[in-house]
Amino acid sequence: MLEKVAEIIKDARRGVVLTGAGISAESGVPTFRGQDGLWKQYRPEELATMEAFRTEPQLVWEWYNWRRGLIRQVEPNPGHHALVDLAAHFDDFALVTQNVDGLHRQAGSKLVLELHGNIMRSKCVECQRLYESEEDIDPGNIPACPECGGKIRPDVVWFGEMLPADVIREAFEKSEQADVFFSIGTSAIVHPAASLPMTAKRAGAILVEINPERTPLSELADFCFCEKSGFLLPSLLAVLESSTRA
């Protein structure tokens, strides 16, 4: 199967990759829905909302500080690095991520479309001004925006919130033009991100999924690798590079 996908990549011009929490799992970042996805028995859907921030801002910041602390200690894994190399095999390549951990940029990926923001950035809940400090926020004394006095929140997209319009628009445009679309490490249930693979497939792309578990995309994918991305992606690049040299 790897050889077949490598051949397809060699004949393709435009590639798009959508990643989810699974690609960061091997770096040690908990996924959302895996058994490690809970924090103090809360589910992400309960905490990653404006409602939760309004009623319990302290609890929400405790969760984000905990995640920021984790993310500061981890490194990109071979899956992230392989995607940096994969880009060179396409004339036009876009990396779209649902992750807020910044690990793709840290690994050296160029055009990264962060659909759900970035956990290390904060902003004012009222005027949206960015609040550059990457320090942890004291949950007991959440700073007020110097401009308007609004509370400072993590600059991520919560459930029920719109995604950054320019980013999601570009993600759909790239998906519609893709020759090959990779869905990697995502449960493919959160929308609108989860609509990107189907958009690409409907527009004629070859759909490749990499995920140790089955997802709603699995039976629609042209190729489904039931493997960890940290193993499969370097193997795919090795096959690609050896066949390109041959």
- Judged by beta carbon, residue 14 or residue 31, the one nearer ligand BV8 is 31
Q: Which does 211 bind (CB under 5 to 8 A by kind): Zn ion, ligand BV8, none?
A: ligand BV8
Binding range to ligand BV8, per CB under 6 A, among 7-15, 142-150, 183-191, 195-203? 183-191
Instruction: Answer yes or no whether residue 130 interacts with Zn ion by CB under 5 A.
Output: no
* Residue 163: CA count within 13 A, CB half-sphere: 21
Q: Which of 88, 127, 144, 226 is close enough to bind Zn ion by CB under 5 A?
A: 127
Binding range to Zn ion, per CB under 5 A, among 83-91, 125-133, 200-208, 211-219? 125-133
By CB atoms closer than 10 A (0-12, 13-18, 19+), residue 1 is exposed
- Residues 83-102 contacting ligand BV8, CB under 6 A: 98, 100
Following CA atoms 130, 104, 63, 137 in sequence, which dihedral angle do they give, to the nearest 10 degrees? -30
- Judged by beta carbon, residue 6 or residue 124, the one nearer Zn ion is 124
Q: Quote the least distance from Cβ 162 to ligand BV8, whole Å.
A: 5
- Residues 13-72 contacting Zn ion, CB under 5 A: none
Instruction: Answer yes or no whether residue 229 interacts with ligand BV8 by CB under 6 A.
Output: yes
Q: For residues 43 and 52, give the distance between their C-alpha atoms in angstroms, rounded to a whole number.
A: 12
8 contacts 180 by C-beta, under 8 angstroms = yes
Instruction: Answer yes or no whether residue 147 interacts with Zn ion by CB under 5 A.
Output: yes
- Judged by beta carbon, residue 126 or residue 176, the one nearer Zn ion is 126
Residues taking part in catalysis:
116
Q: For residues 11 and 48, give the distance between their C-alpha atoms in angstroms, rounded to a whole number.
A: 41
Strands 152-156 and 130-131: unpaired
Tell me phi and psi for residue 225, to 5 degrees: -100, 115
CB atoms within 10 A of CB 223: 16
Q: Which residue type is seen at 136? A: D
Q: For residues 154 and 64, give the distance between their C-alpha atoms in angstroms, rounded to a whole number.
A: 8
Q: Quote the least distance from Cβ 173 to ligand BV8, whole Å.
A: 19
Contacts of 191 (CB under 8 A, 6+ apart): none
- Judged by beta carbon, residue 55 or residue 242, the one nearer ligand BV8 is 55
Query: Which spans of this chain sit near ligand BV8 (rule: CB under 6 A)?
Result: 20-22, 25-26, 31-34, 37, 45, 48, 98, 100, 116, 156-162, 185-187, 189-191, 193, 210-213, 215, 228-230
